[in-house]
Amino acid sequence: MTVSKRRAAALDALGIPAYLSPMSAALYNSTILRLAASIPHDVRLPAAQATAEKRSPICGSRVTVDVALDAEGRVAALGQEVRACALGQASAALMGAHAIGRSADELDTARDALTAYLSGERDDPGDWPGLDIFLPARAYSARHPSIRLAFEAVADAARDAGRRREAAA
């Protein structure tokens, strides 16, 4: 078997089309693709307390997040509309899977930790489950904005909902 046939077979075993480059194969692995296909809370909230939309100027990816907070200021309901590459979709899936019950401060911390992890300022992605899957993306800074979108949007929406609640009190 030739190298190209072995490479194609290995990529096929991971569910990655053989036409993708080695860089793409590392970034768009089966875990990323599986997450991208299973974004939770993928319907906008009809009664959101706040909404934030983030867009990457590099690739055009866009994430819109709606939140409603509970009496303690934690995310009680979440809705999101994700128009992004597989990396942005995978990030939105991880955010959506664990955002319910989080405070604005916790969401800010997760966003900041992810940003620092991607830029190489820290060695781990923080406490948010699953973000270590973006290790291969650290070398490709053009991919970072899409990965950060969902976390930036949910942190902004939660912070805005909290401010609105305080202003109404």
Query: For 16-69, what is each residue's pLDDT tens digit?
Result: 555 555 556 677 888 999 999 999 999 999 999 999 999 998 889 999 999 999
Instruction: Check residue 87 and give its pLDDT.
Output: 95
75/157 Cα distance (integer angstroms): 10
Instruction: Check residue 45 and give its pLDDT.
Output: 97
Query: For 46-57, what is each residue's pLDDT tens digit?
Result: 999 999 999 998
Instruction: Check residue 169 and give its pLDDT.
Output: 80
Q: pTM for this structure? A: 0.85
Query: For 134-153, what is each residue's pLDDT tens digit?
Result: 999 999 999 999 999 999 99
Q: How does the average pLDDT of the chain come out, rounded?
A: 89
Instruction: Check residue 108 and give its pLDDT.
Output: 98
On the question of pLDDT at 88 being above 60, the answer is: yes
What phi and psi values does residue 22 have, to the nearest 5 degrees? -55, -40
Instruction: Check residue 27 and give its pLDDT.
Output: 79
The first and second tokens of residue 157, run together, are 């929406």
- Angstrom distances, CA of residue 127 to CA of 98, 109, 111, 124, 145: 11, 9, 11, 9, 20
**Domains contained in the chain, CATH given:** 39-168 (3.90.1010.10)
Instruction: Check residue 65 and give its pLDDT.
Output: 98
Q: Is 62 helix (H, G, I), strand (E, B) or coil?
A: strand
On the question of pLDDT at 11 being above 60, the answer is: no
Q: Is 22 helix (H, G, I), strand (E, B) or coil?
A: helix
Residue whose C-alpha is closest to residue 133's, from 97, 158, 169: 97
